[in-house]
Amino acid sequence: PANARLYHEKVIDHYEKPRNVGSLNKKDINVGTGLVGAPACGDVMKLQILVDDETGEIKDVKFKTFGCGSAIASSSLVTEKIKGLTVWDAMKITNVDIAKELSLPPVKLHCSMLAEDAIKSAVNDWQSKRKPKTAPSPSA
């Protein structure tokens, strides 16, 4: 196919069989919702995490992406990566990690940036829903 040289097979795999597509209940206090857009192209990504409020562990992840193949592949990949991590470890994932793993070309770097931003936005939303006293902290 014409795009075989542009897209690494891992991108195509995640694009054709995206993992963890769907939604979690936005109203659940343990669910964080991240909604971010890419100014460069207008694409939008929603990433939701279900967090264990005792440990900060991400128990479930769902995403919906209205964007290009690289954005869909990036979000699918990060859902696999962050499930089982604590929110603090998930926050350490950068778009460079994602882009490297998917061998994204430079012109597609902003697509993986969307995934990094979506994780941070989801964690921030989760944190903002919790009372400071009950939110676990990395030092706890």
> Which among 9, 22, 26, 41 is annotated as catalytic?
41
41 phi/psi in degrees, rounded to 5 = -135, -10
Please state the closest distance from residue 81 (CB atom) to ligand FES, in A: 18
| Burial class (CB within 10 angstroms; exposed 0-12, middle 13-18, buried 19+) of 21 | middle
For the record, the structure tokens of 23 come out as 């939604």
Query: Which region, judged by CB under 6 A, interacts with ligand FES, from 15-23, 35-43, 75-83, 87-95?
Result: 35-43
- Say if CB 86 and CB 49 are below 8 A apart: no
- Does residue 99 interact with ligand FES by CB under 6 A? no
110 binds ligand FES (CB under 6 A): yes
Sequence-ordered strand ranges (E) for 52-115 = 58-66
Taking the C-alpha atoms of residue 97 and residue 88, their distance in angstroms, rounded to an integer, is 16
The answer to whether residue 111 forms part of the interface with ligand FES (CB under 6 A) is yes
What's the closest the beta carbon of residue 113 comes to ligand FES, in angstroms? 8
CB of 22 to ligand FES, least distance (A): 20
Contact positions vs ligand FES (CB under 6 A): 38, 40-41, 43, 67-68, 70-71, 108, 110-111, 114
